[in-house]
Structure 1
Amino acid sequence: MSFAFLLTSFIVVVSPGTGVLYTLASALKGGARAAVAASIGCTLGIVPAMLAAMVGLAAVLHTSAVAFAALKWLGVAYLLYMAWQTLRERGALSVEARQDGAAEARVIVKGILVNILNPKLSIFFLAFLPQFIPSDEAHPIARMLELSATFMLMTFVVFVVYGLFAAKVRDHVVSQPSVMAWLRRIFAGGFALLGAKLAFAER
């Protein structure tokens, strides 16, 4: 596995995006357990993109305007929904004193949806991973699985670090209603901006 792949993957993973924003918001809402749950969800959400790239579905999204637009607008709608829920305090930043299994499962499912409904992720896998697979590779699928697993592991670790940091300062933040109000606006604005960015995305 090349250093170039590891470095490029790390830069992609640590760059603030929907998954990072969702993980931070979940950590501020439910603490460390929610942070880990969000990290799991966002990481699992990579699997469909990986499989799509392997079976050629990403190529369909890349060439079919209708398929790409359908998935894109579902993603936009979901991000705007998350922005609205955050503002209404029943979404990512409605603070809960305790997290039970059902709450954590919901965090995981939402994290999965965040990535599934982003068609750019599938196209990213289609364009990104093949660059690191030699043309004479005897087992390209196995190689792609190896690279994908590494990317997913890196995603999980980085997101957990982000989330645990947010969870650590959670008690200081939630005790100040004015700070929470501003954070809700910031996170809602972030989700809305990411939705707008996705809306203008081209294949």
Structure 2
Amino acid sequence: MTLEFLITALVVVLVPGTGVVYTVAVGLGQGRLPSIAAAFGCTLGIVPAILASVLGLAALLHTSALVFQLLKYAGVAYLLYLAWLTLKDQGALSLDRDADRSTLGLTSVAWTGFLINILNPKLTVFFLAFLPQFIPANAVSPATDMLAMGGVFMAMTFTVFVVYGAFASLVGEHVLRSQTVLTWMRRTIAVTFAGFGLRLALADR
């Protein structure tokens, strides 16, 4: 595993995407523990994409227009649904700090993060293009190397997302006291998810 891979992977993880926005939103509204659950769910949602890349299923997704489009529009619909939930202040994206933080509540938060990533076909295609670049030409077991790099990528994702969530939790404790701030925060997060949905809808393979 090269230093070039580690640096590139870290840069990719640090760039805000749907997972980061979701984890930050949960941290802002519900606190540190739920944000960790969100980070865990988003990280777990990477597993199918990595396995698909290793097993060659990502190539099938890349070449099959129908499968790609079906998964893409399922992802678009889910992002728009999250935007609607945010405006309604319901579900895992509620900015109510008195929301349910039981095991069931944390499971729901993690499950939403998992679905955000698993319903994004471009994530699978990304790993298909990304991981093989760092496989040495003389590699004895390319599949094992890809799995190892995928594991490191997941560890980076979880760590970075937890940091994002913890910071958002601290900010939320101080800024989410005004109803006006809460309203604008909901609108901003909702528009962000809707924007991600629109970008995914316009994405090509």
* TM-score class normalised by the smaller sequence: over 0.9
Question: Which ranges of 4 or more aligned residues in structure 1 deviate by more than 3 Å?
Answer: none
Give the equivalent residue in structure 1 for 2:82: 82
- Of residues 138, 141, 156, the one that matches 2:140 is 138
* Aligned residues of 2:19 and 2:116 also touching (Cα < 8 A): yes
* Aligned residues of 2:95 and 2:182 also touching (Cα < 8 A): no
- Of residues 158, 164, 168, the one that matches 2:170 is 168
Unmatched 5+ residue regions in structure 2? none
Give the equivalent residue in structure 1 for 2:95: 94
Cα deviation, residue 70, structure 1: 0.4
Give the equivalent residue in structure 1 for 2:161: 159
Q: How does 1:26-37 map to 2 (within 5 A)?
A: 26-37=26-37
The alignment's TM-score, normalised by the length of structure 1, stands at 0.97
The one-character-per-residue Cα deviations of 1:150-188 (angstroms, maximum 9, x if unpaired) are 000000000000000001122212211111111100000
Cα deviation, residue 93, structure 1: 3.1
- Of residues 91, 111, 114, the one that matches 1:112 is 114
The one-character-per-residue Cα deviations of 1:63-113 (angstroms, maximum 9, x if unpaired) are 010010000000000000000110111141331325111100000100100
* Aligned residues of 2:117 and 2:123 also touching (Cα < 8 A): yes
Cα deviation, residue 29, structure 1: 2.1
* Percent of aligned pairs with the same amino acid: 52
The alignment's TM-score, normalised by the length of structure 2, stands at 0.96
Unmatched 5+ residue regions in structure 1? none
Between the two proteins, the alignment pairs up a number of residues equal to 203
State how far apart, in whole Å, the 2-side matches of 1:120 and 1:89 are.
Answer: 28
State how far apart, in whole Å, the 1-side matches of 2:113 and 2:190 are.
Answer: 16
Give the equivalent residue in structure 1 for 2:39: 39
SS at match of 2:89: coil
State how far apart, in whole Å, the 1-side matches of 2:71 and 2:183 are.
Answer: 32
